Structure 1
Amino acid sequence: MTSTTSTPSGTVHPWFRDGDRPDPASLRRLSAAETYELLHRQLAGLSVPLEGPLPAQPFVLPRRSYEELFTVARTLLALVRRAVLALDGGWPGRVEALGADPDDYPLLSGQDNTETAYCSMMARPDIVIGENGPQLLEFNVSGTFGGPNETHGLTEVWRHTHRETLFGHDPLAARVEAFEDVCASRGLPRAVAIVGSIGDLLDTADTRFQERELAQFRRRGFTADFFEPDRLTEALGRPGSLRYPLGLRNFAPADWTERGISLEPVRDAQRSGMLLLPPQSSGLLANKKALALVSEGRPWMTRAERALADRHLPWTRLTIPGRTRWHGLEHELPGLILAEPERFVLKKAIGMMGREVLVGRHAEPEDWRTAVDAAFATGHSIVQEYVEPAVCPIELTDGTSTFTAQVAPVLSPMLFGDRPGGCMARYYAAPNPEAAGVVSVSAFGASENAVLTWN
């Protein structure tokens, strides 16, 4: 859950404003104490930080801005998908072409058509609002990105706290609808095994979110249950046909491998015919090198696609020595990055939670030079032009009173089977110099909230 910002400053961008609507704070019908208590009661067990100031209201966008987030996300996801599919060699060849380690993709099914059909099934970009509107910094494409349960829970809170009904797509419902599409297209019974591990939860978490996920499936007529790896053989229903022909992959294979959890039960389920979604090929769409390919431009891109990428995707390049074009002029790429660190961000092509991200304007000169040299020596990173994020006001509460802060949110609209699935936001309620420009919940205590719009 990471992106990059600097300390909020400046005026509110018009993209955030709707002059025809009231201030959402004026619609709150609960006291600060009641709102604070409700947040704690409803969100316990999720990743939403519940220490310090909490949001007293959602981020409320004009309808045009809210819808634009999903349009930008959907269009750029399609371009990233096509850029990855254009690489030769099937999915194993694409792993190699993007410089990834094949051992990190142990659950590639070998069913290339299936992998291709569902590789972009679940996605969550990280977007900031720059001078020209939404700027997409990176994609999270998998079944394990944060946001669905948190956004669902926060939206439920705001429906109780505000007099006027606000609108937001429900990520849990949208995910079920995506699985309904799979069942309809493949003629499968409505039965899904949610595959995960209790050990993936936070120490202070409970399992209520699992019950919420299961309830969403069951409400729509699915047989659904949660399976840890040591119980997964139960889902196979041997002898006979599969009890659960579909699996929701709620885990990252690398996390299980690091913790010594065997993937063999999962492979066994796949060999027996379980369709595990999203497939592991989705991880290649999250590889930041794919964004660099789109930013640089592919021969098959139309003028309209290039224009959209130029408008909504910050200039992004692979860290490969050579000449490149930047702001209308030719440059040697390594020299450009070293000469103007305040204009760029270095990111490992594969990473999460703020790992291996360095923001030039927040780095010491020697650290920047060392990181740039290493990035160009290995070729495993991308460099992206820094986007100064716009700020907007948000009302916060400490449980006794409310106050307004100017924050620079990272907005994350979620897509499930290409349909909108709600939007979350991360931000710092106060400047956090230790974060060095990286917005991370787990590493630096960023706050979370839901993004809604007007009915």
Structure 2
Amino acid sequence: MTWDATRALAEQLDRGLSAPGAIDAARFASFLEVQKELGLVHGARALCRHLRPYLIAEQDYAAVGRAAERIAAALERVARRALTDAGLAEELGLSADERALAAVDPGGGPFLTVGRLDMMVTEGGFQFIELNADSPAGITDQLLVEQTLMELPHMAPLRGRAGLRTPAPHRGLIRALLEGYAAWGGRAPRPTIAIVDWATVDTSAEFKVLSALLSADGHRTRILDPDELEYDGARLSAGGEAIDLVYRRVITQELIERRGVDHPLVRAYRDRAAYVANSLRTKPLNKKAAFAVLSDPAFSGLFSPEQRAAIAAHIPWTRRVRPGRTAWKGREVDLVELILGEQESFVLKPNDEYGGKGVLLGWQTPPDAWREAVRGVGEQLAIVQERSRSRTARMPTFRDGIVQEEVYFDLCPFVFAGRMEGAMVRLSASAVSNVSAGGGVTGLLIVDDARMSREDTRHV
């Protein structure tokens, strides 16, 4: 990998920050305020506080894309098999209700319309540690960073420069939604679209941005709480207006727990009265135990040679936590004793949570609390995952002047109907970098050093 190939460009941007008048307290405050106006927020908090996008070499971006697409395809194989294999469904920790819902065939369209892999950049490579296949957020971050961070004075030398490009995950989403709708059998040339989630969620600003983009493309688009939906046995609607396509952001588990399996959205989905993306059969993909299936050699027959190679290179050792023997670094060990004895080598995660909830980092957890968590896993399914030693990055921010801050970062690729486009870049002072746990974001800038050098030579 060539993760350091972009260092010279990063240093150039940082020098620009030190120029007189580049960034002062007033301009930084305005930068944050514009984010709030545009919707680059979590709740009321502006998300981008660092003053440089994450730079990635073109060849590294391509390598991440190949691996992400293969891992997503491998996880889809796991989910599809779990629909008919009770043993695999049990391995994933699917409840009877979840199995029944996943078994409903929604018709055509991709199995997974949009997913986001959480990825850590390590020394010499990268590893995928989770997949959000239910309600991935952050798809409009890149667009909004380009309208805020990229407009600051110190970024001016990059605008229009050959050899630099930014991805467009929002376009990847819209394309996947409309292609999925057509494959499902949708006939409306401009389907009416509902973005559905609870009215109180902290990510509601993102829905407004997406709604504006879809409306600009000619689609009647509404942002709806699940309680606003109605189904009469023939059409899904809200306030008397029919809905053709649902971009489902409400989390399946929360919808079923709060409103039950007879909610209008679920009934319309069962009857194929509206196209719903993501479908309600992605739950197996969202279980963290799916990574234990990828990691365990006992399941290797599920995957193609290319997928097995990607798993070996980019999936950390992962197991469901339960009594028994397992293989670890070429030897057979008792799993619980291993987790207790090698605490600093592992991360504990609930099988079915999100936003970093319940995650315990062995190297940061008091031994007594770690033992209690491991011994208490029987009450809630959990996985143990080998620690991925993430690289950190020095990123400029403003605190009474420009300072360089050492931050953890995740590069989280989006996969739309099997194709990668862009990534959410999360930054945090903590090793758990989820935005809902207090982390921030920045943009992604893809750098083709060879093309930049050719263009620079032409202008000498």
Relative to the length of structure 1, the TM-score reads 0.82
Q: 1:106 to 1:222 in 2, by over 3 A?
A: farther
How far the C-alpha of 1:187 sits from its partner, in A, is: 5.0
Question: Alignment length, in residue pairs?
Answer: 425
Deviation string 1:50-102 (CA, Å, 9 cap, x unpaired) is 47992112112222223333222211111111122223527x88655522224
* Letter matched to residue 442 of structure 1: S
Which residue matches 1:8? none
Which residue matches 2:193? 193
Q: Is the 8 A contact 2:325 2:333 kept in 1?
A: yes
Any residues of structure 2 matched to 1:111-150 within 5 Å, and which?
A: 111=105, 114=108, 117-142=109-134, 144-150=135-141
Which residue matches 2:458? none
What percent of counterpart residues are identical? 23
* Letter matched to residue 149 of structure 1: T
SS in 2 for 1:191: coil
Q: 1:51 to 1:247 in 2, by over 3 A?
A: closer
Which residue matches 1:224? 221
Greater relative contact order (Cα 8 A, min sep 6): structure 1 or 2? Answer: 1
Query: Structure 1 stretches of 5 or more lacking a match?
Result: 1-12
Q: Distance in 1 between matches of 2:260 and 2:142?
A: 29
Any residues of structure 2 matched to 1:249-398 within 5 Å, and which?
A: 249-256=248-255, 264-270=263-269, 271=271, 273-297=273-297, 298-375=300-377, 377=378, 380-398=381-399
- The two structures, once aligned, show a CA RMSD in angstroms of 3.2
Q: Distance in 2 between matches of 1:391 and 1:299?
A: 36
How far the C-alpha of 1:262 sits from its partner, in A, is: 9.1
How far the C-alpha of 1:440 sits from its partner, in A, is: 3.1
* Letter matched to residue 381 of structure 2: H
* Letter matched to residue 132 of structure 1: G
Which residue matches 2:75? 80
Q: 1:305 to 1:252 in 2, by over 3 A?
A: closer
Deviation string 1:363-397 (CA, Å, 9 cap, x unpaired) is 2222212222223x357211110111112221112
Q: Distance in 1 between matches of 2:339 and 2:110?
A: 36
Q: 1:401 to 1:53 in 2, by over 3 A?
A: farther
Match of 2:439 among 424, 441, 446: 446
How far the C-alpha of 1:125 sits from its partner, in A, is: 1.0
How far the C-alpha of 1:183 sits from its partner, in A, is: 3.7
Q: Is the 8 A contact 1:105 1:280 kept in 2?
A: no
Q: Is the 8 A contact 1:66 1:452 kept in 2?
A: no
Q: Is the 8 A contact 2:196 2:250 kept in 1?
A: yes
Query: Structure 2 stretches of 5 or more lacking a match?
Result: 449-460
Q: Distance in 1 between matches of 2:418 and 2:334?
A: 38
How far the C-alpha of 1:178 sits from its partner, in A, is: 0.6
Matched, 1:212 2:213: no
SS in 2 for 1:54: coil
Deviation string 1:304-361 (CA, Å, 9 cap, x unpaired) is 4323212111111122333222222222222211111111111111111222211111
Relative to the length of structure 2, the TM-score reads 0.81
Matched, 1:110 2:134: no
Q: Distance in 2 between matches of 1:247 and 1:358?
A: 35
* Letter matched to residue 443 of structure 2: A
Matched, 1:15 2:13: no
Q: Is the 8 A contact 1:295 1:313 kept in 2?
A: yes
Which residue matches 1:98? 92
Q: Is the 8 A contact 1:56 1:402 kept in 2?
A: no
Q: 1:328 to 1:151 in 2, by over 3 A?
A: same
Match of 2:42 among 43, 47, 61: 47
Q: 1:17 to 1:315 in 2, by over 3 A?
A: same
Deviation string 1:282-319 (CA, Å, 9 cap, x unpaired) is 12101111111111132143444323212111111122
Q: 1:403 to 1:263 in 2, by over 3 A?
A: farther
Q: 1:234 to 1:215 in 2, by over 3 A?
A: farther
Which residue matches 1:405? 405
